[in-house]
Every structure is written in C-alpha cells, then in structure tokens.
C-alpha cells in the first residue's frame, strides 16, 4: 500500500475510533460526562501531514506582505496546550466597537454589564462572554451611543450558531433563562439537545402529551447564523496593545485569502456558507498574541476542500441552517504569514498546522473530546 494511503488510513482510524478506556497511549482521558480530555494536542485535532496534505502545509505564505510592528514581541517559550479554562457556551454581544473598557462587564448600560450582574442565572456550565465589533441594529430612538437606554442589540450564541435579536439590558434575565440555558453546549454530542432543554421538554411532554415549541421572551427573535465558519480575533487594546495591532492586520490577510475562494463574508453579507471574521474582547493569554478562535459547523460528511469552495463561491446553501458548531480550534501566536494555511487546513478541514507552537485548546463535539 502506498505510504500516503497508509498514513491517511492510520490518521482516520485514530480520529474516528477514539479510545474508550482513556489509556495514556491514545492521549485521551475519560471524563464523567461521557466526553474525553485530550491530554496532547495531536489527540484533540489532527495535525497536518505532508504525506497527506502536501508540502504546502510545511511552508508559511510566501506572498504575505503584511507584517507586525517591529517591536511586536510575544512569549514563545511557555507551554500553550491545555492551559485554557473550559467553557460551555459563548455569547458574543454586538457593540460595533473594536475596543472596550478593561472589563467589558463594566461597560455602563451595556448588555455585557447585565449578563455579568445576572451570571448566577446561567445553567449548564460556564458562559464565556465577549463584546464584539458586530454592528448593532439601526435605531431611531432617543439618546446617543450603542448603549443608549432602550436601544436593543443582537447577540450571537455559540455553539448553537444562533442570532438572538432584540436584547436589552433589562431583558437579559429572560434571555438567559429562555434562550441561553436551553441551548446546546460544547459538552453536548452533535445531534443531542442540551440536558437543560431535554429535561424541560420531558417535563412539558409529561404534562401535555407533546413537546411544545420553546417560549421566547417578549421582543426576542431567533434566527440561524448563515455562516459555515467563524474566526474570532481578540482586538482589545485596553488589555494589551498587541491585540489592537494584530487583529486588523490578520483580518486583512485572512480576507485576502478568502475572497478569491468566494468564502469571505462581511457584516451585511447573509449568503449561506462562508467565513465571518469578528473582533472580540479579552480571552486571556495576551502574551501569546494573536489569539484566534475558529468555530466550525459540523460539515456532516467530509466534502473535499474544493467542493466546499465551490459551494460557498456559488452562494449555495452549505449545510442546513440548524447545524451547530462541531469544533472550536483555539490558536495563539498567530502571525499574518500563517493565515493562508489556517484558511486552507484549519478553517476548511479542521486540522492544525503548528500544534506545538499555536494550539491552546478547544473541543470536538463529533468525537466527544475537549482540551480541559
């Protein structure tokens, strides 16, 4: 059998049949919730392999002209993998800004402040909260600024890939209880609803004989995010100047590689599929700038990169609207010259090009594996 085919079969076997016992040789350790902890970076996501992926995975982009400032220095020595705190859901709040006060929960009059005040209502594990540069809806009411009293905004809930419209600081408790808590978590296997949602549905079914549609808080509407992939870049300069410098540069370079493939999606581009790139607030680890989180919807069947590009480029429906994120790949120490291979291998294929240097952690709901 050719070497390339043997390598491919070995890789597929290890990633489609993870160890159930949690032995050290597999790099997987059993958890009481049915998931497994990947104790090594290669046990979480497949690294690129030149025998399978070609020599391109060994080389940074040769045509990249964007560079970080000369004094852009980061920590290159400390261990990255496995040091992040686990999270169960991620809520991105639209503010239209790229920088915020040091702690976004202290943005006066904001939805972030309200979420922080009512954090005790959150069920189903840790809710990661991020302010984002996603523009809030147009508004013609009184007052000025994105946090004007009575001005609603939108939030993006992950891994559900769900837009939540009409969010105000005063209805945050109802949003948490009626939208966030019933939503899927990073620790729900794909195809399963969250434990909280399942429990509520079962109770209601016992009373009425059928499972009712979820009841939304007044003024709140939900719709699916159309994108197939999301790239989140920390841009909060008030926490670290390097994030304010790196995020716009990386976005430009990512856009340069995504546009020819028909994959780039701007804020107002609602075509199905493609890649949305958003700036978010502090996620930790700024000494490893730049931090990048890649959320990937379940692709449901392993189409080739070329097939994905064709579908996205034609603006065709790329997967069902209800699909949730199957993976989140959290990278650090990302530089502009990394972007080409991140697009081709990480975004489109779920592989990590430089796992030892760049992978901080993440989850794979399809395989039931997390880094924490």
Q: Does the predicted model carry a pTM greater than 0.85?
A: yes
Residue 123 · residue 301 · CB < 8 Å: no
Residue 364 and residue 323 share a domain: yes
Contacts of 261 (CB under 8 A, 6+ apart): 309, 312, 313, 343
Is there a domain that residue 52 lies in?
Answer: yes
Surface-to-core class of residue 248, CB atoms within 10 Å of its CB (0-12 exposed, 13-18 middle, 19+ buried):
middle
Q: Shortest CA distance to 259 belongs to which of 313, 185, 296?
A: 313
Cis geometry, peptide bond prior to residue 164 (ω within 30 degrees of 0) = no
Per-residue pLDDT tens digits for 121-162: 999 999 999 999 999 999 877 778 999 999 999 999 999 999
Query: Final residue of a domain: which of 224, 251, 266?
Result: 224
Q: Shortest CA distance to 289 belongs to which of 326, 344, 226, 246?
A: 246
Highest mean pLDDT among 21-25, 80-84, 199-203: 80-84
Per-residue pLDDT tens digits for 292-319: 999 999 765 455 556 555 554 444 444 4
Domain that residue 179 falls in: 101-138+147-224
Residue 251 and residue 160 share a domain: no
Query: Final residue of a domain: which of 224, 245, 275?
Result: 224
Is there a domain that residue 176 lies in?
Answer: yes
């Amino acid at each position: 059998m050719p070497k390339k085919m043997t390598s491919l079969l070995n890789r597929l076997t290890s990633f489609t049949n993870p160890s159930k016992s949690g032995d050290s040789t597999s790099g997987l350790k059993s958890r009481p919730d049915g998931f497994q902890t990947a104790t090594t970076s290669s046990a979480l996501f497949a690294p690129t392999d030149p025998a399978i992926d070609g020599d391109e995975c060994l080389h940074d982009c040769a045509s990249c002209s964007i560079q970080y400032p000369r004094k852009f220095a980061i920590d290159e020595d400390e261990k990255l993998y496995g040091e992040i705190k686990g999270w169960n859901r991620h809520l991105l709040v639209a503010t239209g800004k790229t920088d915020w006060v040091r702690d976004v929960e202290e943005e006066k009059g904001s939805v972030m402040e309200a979420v922080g005040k009512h954090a005790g209502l959150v069920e189903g594990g840790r809710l990661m909260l991020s302010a984002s540069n996603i523009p809030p809806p147009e508004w013609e009411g009184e007052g000025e600024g994105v946090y004007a009293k009575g001005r609603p905004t939108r939030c993006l809930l992950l891994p559900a890939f769900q837009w939540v419209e009409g969010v105000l600081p005063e209805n945050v408790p109802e949003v948490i209880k009626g939208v966030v808590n019933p939503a899927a978590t990073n620790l729900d296997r794909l195809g399963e609803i969250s434990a909280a949602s399942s429990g509520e549905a079962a109770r209601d079914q016992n009373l009425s004989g059928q499972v009712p549609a979820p009841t939304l808080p007044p003024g709140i509407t939900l719709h699916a995010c159309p994108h197939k992939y999301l790239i989140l870049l920390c841009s909060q300069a008030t926490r670290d100047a390097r994030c304010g410098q790196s995020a716009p540069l990386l976005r430009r370079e990512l856009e340069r590689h995504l546009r020819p493939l028909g994959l780039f999606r701007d804020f107002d581009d609602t075509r199905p599929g493609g890649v949305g790139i958003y700036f978010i607030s502090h996620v930790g680890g700024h000494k490893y700038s730049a931090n990048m989180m890649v959320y990937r919807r379940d692709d449901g069947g392993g189409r080739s990169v070329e097939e994905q590009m064709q579908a996205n480029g034609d603006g065709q429906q790329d997967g069902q609207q209800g699909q949730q994120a199957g993976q989140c790949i959290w990278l650090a120490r990302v530089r502009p010259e990394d972007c080409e291979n991140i697009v081709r291998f990480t975004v489109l294929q779920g592989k990590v090009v430089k796992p030892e240097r760049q992978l901080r952690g993440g989850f794979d709901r399809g395989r039931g594996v997390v880094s924490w």
